[in-house]
Amino acid sequence: MSKRVMTVDDSATVRQVLQMTLEGAGYEVLQAVDGVDALRKLASESVDMLVTDLNMPNMDGITLIKEVRQDPGNRFMPIVMLTTESQPEKKQEGKSAGASGWIVKPFKPEQLLAVVRMVCPV
């Protein structure tokens, strides 16, 4: 059974690139547009991994990661954050919230896959 990845980003372009890349590598993709949308969908769907942007309206990525980790069912799920802010403190903030890793935007498909495969192989 293929692994299911939820991608959370307010940009349609980023969502499309994520979907095309991940589906191409054999993952199943579920999209969400922001933190609130992601939490709503996670309540009814189960996923193997989360890829989320940090800077989003309604609910930002850091809050989303913290919320997701509250759910006992998602305590060990790999979470990768997408960020253009390559500053270490942003990464650190995400890590403390419970992120497993990060990808710096803009990324190339193979860079995305290298990270995704490292935390959640197909």
Partner 1 sequence: MSSLLETFRDEGLELIQELEAALLELEETPEDSTLIDRVFRALHTLKGSGGLAGFDNVAGFCHEAETVFEIVRAGERQVDQALVSLTLRAQDHLKGMILHEFGDEAVDAEVTVELVAAFQALVPYQQNPLETDHEEAEGRHDGQATYRIRFRPNPSLFRQGVQPQFLLGELALLGDSVVVAQLDNVPALNEIDPEECLVYWDILLTTDYDEDAIRDVFIFVEDDCKLTVQKIDDGSQLDQPEDYKRLGEILVERGDLTESDLGKYLQEKRRLGEALVAEGAVNDSKIKAALFEQERVQKLRKERKTHDAMESIRVKSDRLDKLVNLVGEMVTVQARLSQLASSRVDADLLGISEEVERLTWDLRDQVLNIRMLPIGGTFTRFKRLVRDLGTELEKDVVLITEGGGTELDKTVIDQLNDPLVHLVRNSIGHGIESPEVRNAIGKPRKGCITLSAKHTGANVVLTIADDGAGLDVARIRAKAVEKGLVSAQAELSERELFNLIFEPGFTTAEEVSSVSGRGVGMDVVRQAVDALRGSIEVRSEAGKGTAFALKLPLTLAIIDGLLIDIAAENYIMPLSAVEECIELTRNDTEKSHGRNLVKVRGEIVPFVRLRDEFSFNGRCPEIEQVVIANLEGVRIGFVVDHVVGEHQTVIKNLGRMYQDIDGISGATILGDGRVALVLDLQKLAEKAEIKENSKFT
Distance CA 13, CA 119 (A): 24
The interface mask with partner 1, positions 60-99, x = CB under 8 A, is ---------x-----xxxxx----x-xx----x--x--xx
Which residue, 26 or 121, has its beta carbon nearer to partner 1?
121
Q: Which is nearer to partner 1, 1 or 76 (CB)?
A: 76
DSSP string, the chain: ---EEEEE-S-HHHHHHHHHHHHHTT-EEEEESSHHHHHHHHHH---SEEEEESS-SSS-HHHHHHHHHHSGGGTT--EEEEES---HHHHHHHHHHT--EEEESS--HHHHHHHHHHHS--
Task: Considering only residues 44 through 63, tell me which ones interact with partner 1, judged by CB under 8 A.
Answer: 53, 55, 57
Q: Is 100 in the site for partner 1 (CB under 8 A)?
A: yes
7 lies in the binding site for partner 1 (CB under 8 A): no
Per CB under 8 A, residues contacting partner 1 are: 10-14, 16-17, 20, 53, 55, 57, 69, 75-79, 84, 86-87, 92, 95, 98-102, 104-108, 111, 118-121
